[in-house]
Amino acid sequence: MAASVVLNGSRSSAGVSEATRQRILSAASELGYSANVTARGLRNVRFKCLGVSCGYTDPFSTPDPRDSTNTSWMMADYYGSYLLNGILRAAHNRGYNVMHFHKAWRDAAHSAAGFRGQGIDGFLIIAPDPDSDMVSGLSALGIPAVVISSSSDQHGVPSVDVDNAAAVRMVLDHLLALGHRRIGYLMEPSDQVDHRIRRDSFLQGLRDSGLPAKPEYMVVASDADFKERVRALLTGPEPPSAVFACDDRTAIRLIQLAHEIGLRVPQDLSIVGFDDSPAASVVTPPLTTVRQPLSPMAEKATDLLISLVEEEPVATQTHWFDPVLVVRESTSPPIS
């Protein structure tokens, strides 16, 4: 009836008399009326709800390597926190709720249908596995989606990402300007696109600067063999005077191990991290690192998704964000 028209302020609300209008509004507020989003959804109206999906094949499979108060996967890490902060803020500004929808994804044929009819208008997909057909699968079903932190505009799906190549270039320039010539790269085993891009950019940057990319300076260390491999790097015949770690967590472990070995940071070893995590400013020495503007990126992604959902025009490309080099005290000119 007319009530619906008035309460939604829908286009045809012109055809309702002012008296009726008032009658409806006052009755509604008196009864504390609030529309049933569920019933409304059945009629193909917006749910005003966005889903957040991490693009992992099985988001909960990672065993918790740390203690019980600690976190075991992305959404509960500082990385996910920063993203969630931006997502919630942007969603709230436009009147949307946010739902965690971290379902395991097999392939489009098996998994895509489970993303419809869930009371969600569109999905934010975080760091999807490049081999997964999640993005194309949802896209094929006409489900609005935006990709965070993986510049995959292949499927006409917008995405946001930090310019990893630029970030690496900034770090390299910083270290080169300080006078470093023996620069190592330390990463965890990871098949994330971003990590691969960073590694490749590092090698490219070395080449561009006329420095050799020594294979022994490129270290991949897991939690298990971290000490062993890093010790080998730092105590070799010609150890690097600076190491760029793929993330802050790794960089901080590196600082601690360097101290154990008896190296001074930064005098004997300059260290650069990636992320500007909360711990970065608190370690000794405070960590030089690259800040990814994660919250702004997530806000942008959320805005894009809502625009998509509301059928506003949207640029289906990668929206790049500039990294910021945060220079603290873990880098200095090399002593020798």
Partner DNA sequence: CTGAAAGCGCTTACAG
The conformational region for residue 63 under phi > 0 = left, psi -120 to 50 = alpha, else beta, is beta
**Among DNA, its own copies, none, what does residue 22 contact (CB within 5–8 Å per kind)?**
none
Nearer to DNA, 20 or 316 (CB): 20
**Among its own copies, DNA, none, what does residue 202 contact (CB within 5–8 Å per kind)?**
none
Nearer to DNA, 16 or 178 (CB): 16
**Residue 332 CA neighbour count, 13 Å, CB half:** 12
Residue 281's contacts (CB-CB under 8 Å, 6 or more residues apart) are: 287, 328
Which amino acid is residue 20, in one-letter code? T
Q: Does 69 sit near its own copies (CB under 8 A)?
A: yes
**Among DNA, its own copies, none, what does residue 5 contact (CB within 5–8 Å per kind)?**
DNA
Tokens 């995959």 found at:
152
Taking CA atoms, 71 is separated from 77, 209, 276, 323, in Å, by 6, 40, 18, 26
Nearer to its own copies, 61 or 222 (CB): 61
Instruction: Select from 95, 141, 100 the least CA-distant residue to 119.
Output: 100
Rounded to a whole number of angstroms, the minimum distance from the CB of residue 329 to its own copies is 12
Taking contact as CB under 7 A, which single stretch among the options 41-49, 160-168, 250-258, 283-291 is the one that binds DNA? 41-49
Site string for its own copies, 39-68 (x = CB under 8 A): x-xx----x-x----------x-------x
Dump the DSSP string for 94-159: TT-EEEE-------HHHHGGGGSSSS-SEEEEES--TT--HHHHHHHTT--EEEESS---TTS--E
Q: Does 113 sit near its own copies (CB under 8 A)?
A: yes
Binding site for DNA (CB under 7 A): 1-2, 4-5, 7-8, 10, 14-17, 19-20, 33, 35-36, 39-40, 42-45, 117
Binding site for its own copies (CB under 8 A): 32-39, 41-42, 47, 49, 60, 68-73, 75-78, 80-82, 84-85, 88-89, 91-92, 97-102, 109-110, 112-114, 116-119, 252, 276-279, 282-284, 291-296
